[in-house]
Amino acid sequence: MSLRLGDSAPDFTADSTAGKINLYEYLGDSWGILFSHPADYTPVCTTELGTAAKLKEEFDKRNVKMIALSVDGLESHKGWVNDINETQHTTVNFPIIADHDRKVSELYDMIHPNASENATVRSVFVIGSDKKIKLIITYPASTGRNFDELLRVIDSLQLTANYSVATPANWKHGEDVVIAPAITNEEIPSRFPKGHKEIKPYLRTTPQPNLP
């Protein structure tokens, strides 16, 4: 059965470039982002892992731990990391799971039957601190992942987890948000003291509530 938003993220223990890792222990109270790759030494994934490494401080600010996965073995991973560091001018600073037996890939339903042998597992899972799956994205092999978008989505997920708001199209951190329909107009002053704008009775906006 496919995983869905809100499901518990399956726990696992696996070898990685940082040693043996248990997912839940590794995440602790943090959020997590698990992103998979079809194989080592693939060009698009090389750029992705380099980009992720450069953005680690941004993920750290959001209390998000990164963990990657590829279906090749640990020794192959180590050689690939050297290439990533060299070509992307960075240092890979998060674990890459060795999934040569595809146990984790199958656990997360990353095996796509319509894909070829070398394009089977290319997914992103954002996992909340409650170990629930908050986001699932599957990319084609030819399109590199947008890590700025992943940071934007995490900002939205963490904001809306704590406040009765939603984020509109193309929202970015610092912009106005939408008040949840369940909040009555009478409740707004106490819930959102910065004020609000009523565009339509069902469309009310307010400044981002977790900013000074």
Residue 30 has phi, psi (to 5 degrees) of -85, 165
Q: Count the helices and strands in the chain (H runs, E runs).
A: 7, 11
By annotation, the residues acting in catalysis are 45
**Coil, helix or strand at residue 204:** strand
Q: Contact 37/70 with Cβ under 8 angstroms? A: yes
- Considering only CA atoms, which of 62, 89, 70, 80 is closest in space to residue 150? 62
- Considering only CA atoms, which of 162, 100, 151 is closest in space to residue 126? 151
Q: How crowded is residue 80: how many other Cβ atoms within 10 Å of its Cβ? A: 23
- Compute the distance between CA of residue 119 and CA of residue 37 in angstroms, rounded to an integer: 8
Q: How crowded is residue 90: how many other Cβ atoms within 10 Å of its Cβ? A: 17
* Pairing, β 31-37 against β 64-70: parallel
